Amino acid sequence: MALKVGATKNLNIWPPMNLQRNLALNPPPKLFNFKPSATPPIRKTLRICRCSLVNEQQQQEEQQASFTEQEKQLIDALIGIQGRGRSASPQQLNDVERAVQVLEGQEGVPDPTSSDLIEGRWQLMFTTRPGTASPIQRTFVGVNFFSIFQEVYLRTNDPRVSNIVKFSDLIGELKVEAAASINDGQRILFQFDRAAFTFKFLPFKVPYPVPFRLLGDEAKGWLDTTYLSHSGNLRISRGNKGTTFVLQKNTDHRQKLLAAISTGTGVREAIDEFISLSKSVTNDEPVLLEGEWQMIWSSQIETDSWLENAGNGLMGSQIVKNRQMKFVVNILPGIRFSMIGKFVKSGPKTYDITMDDAALIGGPFGYPLEMETKINLELLYSDDKIRISRGYNNILFVHLRTGGSK
């Protein structure tokens, strides 16, 4: 059964409608006696509406264009990396390092430590050594559920660099602070000196059990900013222990969606906002791209039957190639479920899929299963990294591309 998804868009029209009605009912007094303009007032109103639409679209495009092409390449490389680098594959690490090196060779903000753009709260998106270095890195950085921030304030009476682990809006955060000083145009010197937990359910802070005064030089370090974007949205830094950090002030809308999925909060709202924004930027029809796609979220919880879940695409990954789709679910080490079918395009955004070749596979052996699943797949969004669709039993899916040519 074909599904239709409608989207509405609220427009901010200026002047407000009540002001337009008041002007129509109580026109201003005529100062001169002249003939009315040949242009009816309604045409003026439409001209204003048209300008409002253009301005709104321009603002949205400007927001999307807050990253340069080279910066977008780095963001694209970061999409789909779990644990801020902890679970990255060698290929993903190479893609990120290559994009970082390109930006470091570009003309970013000169002498970034002297720029106001470095000030503020930065969100950590990636680090090359999440399992080593500071205690925060060793304990919290690789956990997707937590958000990691770095605050940089150098132009105060007490200049500081602080690392923050935000557990959730309901729980609270851990803040580790360091006294900071500017060494040169790139380097910040720091020394950790205090830290505490702030819990929403406690009226006081809980000290972080690390004796910074006893650590001596171990509590000291430096941070080089090797690239700072002219928009102030992206920063690349390298630390004294060989760690590379990628931080952002404003995140890409795809990153916001993945963050909502990682924390499990506001996912549906994030999807609706993501799709609405994507439609306002482009009118291109989504295409079912080839490659390997890992399901990272669905609007339905899995049932008790793993076989039913696997056959309906509620778990595992999908491989799209040569007008065929393949469901793959790793059940046990060396044993996987496989189901192959064909698809045909049935509408601008819809595909009819018939899955009818299922088997349990262990090594070179396979045990066929009598199964058939028919799915009407509607693509709500698709790019080289993310696919949002509505499929079996009207379930909403988010897939992340893990393999396949672009």
d(CA 169, CA 133): 27
d(CA 153, CA 162): 9
d(CA 82, CA 35): 69
The pLDDT-based confidence of 405 (bands split at 50, 70, 90) is low
One of 3.40.50.970, 3.30.2130.30, 1.10.540.10, 2.40.128.280 is the CATH number of 284-403, namely 2.40.128.280
> 128 or 52, which is more confident?
128
Here the tokens at position 153 are 């304030």
pLDDT confidence of residue 138: 59
Residue with tokens 């959730």: 168
Which of 383, 237, 397 shows the shortest CA–CA distance to 317?
397
pLDDT confidence of residue 205: 94
Mean pLDDT value across the chain = 82
Residue 48 has pLDDT above 50, yes or no: no
Residue 340 has pLDDT above 70, yes or no: yes
State the angle between helix axes of 267-281 and 41-64 in degrees (0 to 180), rounded to the nearest 10. Answer: 110
One of 2.40.128, 2.60.40, 1.20.1250, 3.40.50 is the CATH number of 66-251, namely 2.40.128
Lowest mean pLDDT among 103-112, 121-130, 291-300, 336-345: 121-130
Residue 390 in contact with residue 376, Cβ under 8 Å? no
pLDDT confidence of residue 302: 65
Question: Could you check whether 66-251 and 284-403 share the same CATH topology?
Answer: yes
Beta bridge partners of 317: 294, 328
The domain ranges of the chain are 66-251, 256-281, 284-403
**pTM, rounded to two decimals:** 0.72
Contacts of 302 (CB under 8 A, 6+ apart): 309, 314, 315
DSSP 153-177: E-SSSS-EEEEEEEEETTTEEEEEE
How does pLDDT run across 222-274, given as a tens digit for each residue?
A: 999 999 999 999 999 999 988 999 999 988 889 889 989 988 888 999 999 99
What is the SS3 string spanning 354-402? EEEEEEEEECCEEEEECCCEEEEEEEEEECCCEEEEECHHHCEEEEEEE
The pLDDT-based confidence of 7 (bands split at 50, 70, 90) is very low
pLDDT confidence of residue 19: 38
Which of 162, 69, 76 shows the shortest CA–CA distance to 124?
162
pLDDT confidence of residue 360: 94
